[in-house]
């Protein structure tokens, strides 16, 4: 159900990182539907292009696919230059991320970096590259970062992601103050479980039992509302934060999780009961998902 009037985002230009798939694609779809012009970025060029073509045709607006690995500062700067050369952006959604469940004792430094380089470093590079341009061009703008509720209570079995998202939570609050005089707002959304292919392959491989995420067939999973999130609900919250009209709202992180965090923590603490063989099976399933995706990457 859409809550907003047609054409609300007409004349606005947004970049959605990781906009080719999952939640990023949903938010991009909503902004495009409301008339915005969009840039979406990611590493898999063909996946991005397919989404850009689909959304631009569906909503009769311009959607540009920008292949970019946000872990690489120069690539981020090039991407931002390309977008700003066509006119200043009005907003950025920091949505790109990497994640997988694992016992922390099984992680190598490389495994930690595989997540932190995307979520912590990459998100900062993109925010900085946009922010510098907005400040220089005296352009009012808006940032939304997609976090998780684990920024408040920790993420057992997803420690690199939880640490990185917590860092971006503090970036949001810090820059909300530092950049308020420049007319730049920063807010964040902490979604509970919203089933996507990317997340489920890495956080709920094989729909294993005991996952806090639930599955498409078992959506209760201890959530007070007895269900996972619906995409429209996230799309509407992102639009509310991005649109003109709540300009005094900044530095906030809003949970959208059916009360999951308040009700029972909403993290993966119950995975403590899994044994060595379960974790090996999980790792094998995640590895095969990663390998399949990697064959489509060109950057
Ligand atoms: C332990 C693992 C592992 C696992 C990989 N590694 N999988 N360690 N358990 N399951 C280790 C590897 O052994 C290696 O370390 C290091 O991590 C890097 O592995 P690569 O496979 O080379 O990583 P890479 O190709 O860079 O892949 C990055 C990725 C991948 C993050 C691992 O999944 C990715 O690109 N994901 C993008 C999409 C995604 O993750 N979407 C989900 C977001 S969902 P060594 O030491 O062996 O070299 C999300 C939801 C949160 O965040 C909230 C839900 C409620
Ligand atoms: P997803 O479909 O896997 O989305 C992740 C996106 O990030 C992909 O499009 C991926 O594209 C992109 N990406 C990853 N690494 C990148 C890099 N180095 N450079 C550029 N792009 C990169 O999973 P999702 O579930 O929609 O997750 C989207 C966001 O929501 C993430 O921030 C996630 O943490 C958050 N979230 C999701 C849930 C949920 O239940 N789904 C809950 C809470 C929070 P490429 O692989 O092509 O680069």
pLDDT, tens only, 97-139: 999 999 999 999 999 999 999 999 999 999 999 999 999 999 9
286 ligand 1 Cβ < 6 A: yes
Instruction: Please give the distance, rounded to the nearest whole angstrom, from the Cα atom of residue 102 to the centre of ligand 1.
Output: 10
pLDDT in tens, 146-164: 999 999 999 999 999 999 9
**What is the C-alpha to C-alpha distance for residues 86 and 77, in angstroms, rounded to an integer?**
15
Q: Given this model, what pLDDT does residue 2 score?
A: 77
Q: How far is the CA of 249 from the centre of ligand 1 (A)?
A: 34
- Of 43-57, 144-158, 204-218, 241-255, give the lowest mean pLDDT range: 204-218
Ligand 1 pocket test, pick from 274, 281, 290 with the greatest ligand atom count within 8 Å of Cβ, gives 290
CATH code 1.20.1070.10 for 13-203+226-269? no
Instruction: List, for residues 184-231, the tens digit of each pLDDT value.
Output: 999 999 999 999 999 999 888 877 644 555 544 455 567 999 999 999
- Alpha helix (H) residue ranges in the chain: 22-33, 45-59, 73-85, 109-116, 123-136, 150-153, 159-178, 197-203, 231-242, 260-264, 276-294
CA 155 to chain centroid, in Å, comes to 16
- Rounded to the nearest whole angstrom, what is the distance from the C-alpha of residue 139 to the centroid of ligand 1? 36
Index of the ligand 2 atom closest to the CA of residue 47:
47
- How is the chain split into domains, by residue range? 13-203+226-269
Closest residue to atom 42 of ligand 1, CA basis: 199
Burial classification of residue 90, based on how many CB atoms lie within 10 Å of its CB (0-12 exposed, 13-18 middle, 19 or more buried): buried
């Amino acid at each position: 159900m859409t809550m907003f009037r047609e054409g609300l985002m007409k004349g606005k230009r947004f970049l959605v990182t990781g906009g080719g798939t999952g939640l990023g694609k949903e938010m991009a779809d909503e902004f495009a539907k409301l008339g915005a012009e969009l840039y979406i970025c990611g590493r898999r060029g063909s996946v991005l292009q397919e989404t850009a073509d689909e959304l631009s045709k569906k909503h009769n607006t311009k959607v540009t696919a920008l292949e970019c690995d946000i872990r690489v500062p120069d690539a981020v700067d090039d991407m931002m230059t390309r977008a700003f050369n066509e006119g200043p952006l009005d907003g950025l959604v920091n949505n790109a991320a990497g994640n997988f469940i694992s016992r922390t004792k099984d992680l190598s430094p490389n495994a930690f970096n595989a997540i932190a380089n995307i979520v912590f470093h990459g998100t900062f590079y993109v925010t900085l590259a946009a922010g510098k341009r907005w400040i220089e061009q005296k352009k009012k703008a808006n940032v939304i970062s997609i976090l998780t509720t684990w920024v408040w209570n920790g993420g057992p079995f997803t420690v690199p992601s939880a640490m990185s998202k917590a860092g971006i939570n503090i970036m949001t609050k810090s820059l909300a103050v530092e950049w308020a005089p420049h007319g730049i707002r920063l807010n964040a959304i902490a979604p509970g479980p919203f089933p996507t292919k990317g997340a489920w392959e890495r956080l709920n491989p094989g729909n294993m039992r005991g996952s806090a995420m639930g599955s498409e067939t078992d959506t209760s999973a201890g959530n007070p509302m007895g269900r996972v999130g619906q995409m429209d609900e996230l799309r509407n919250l992102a639009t509310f934060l991005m649109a003109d009209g709540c300009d005094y709202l900044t530095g906030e992180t809003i949970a959208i999780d059916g009360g999951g965090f308040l009700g029972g923590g909403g993290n993966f603490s119950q995975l403590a009961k899994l044994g060595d063989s379960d974790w090996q099976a999980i790792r094998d399933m995640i590895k095969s998902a990663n390998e399949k995706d990697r064959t489509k990457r060109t950057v």
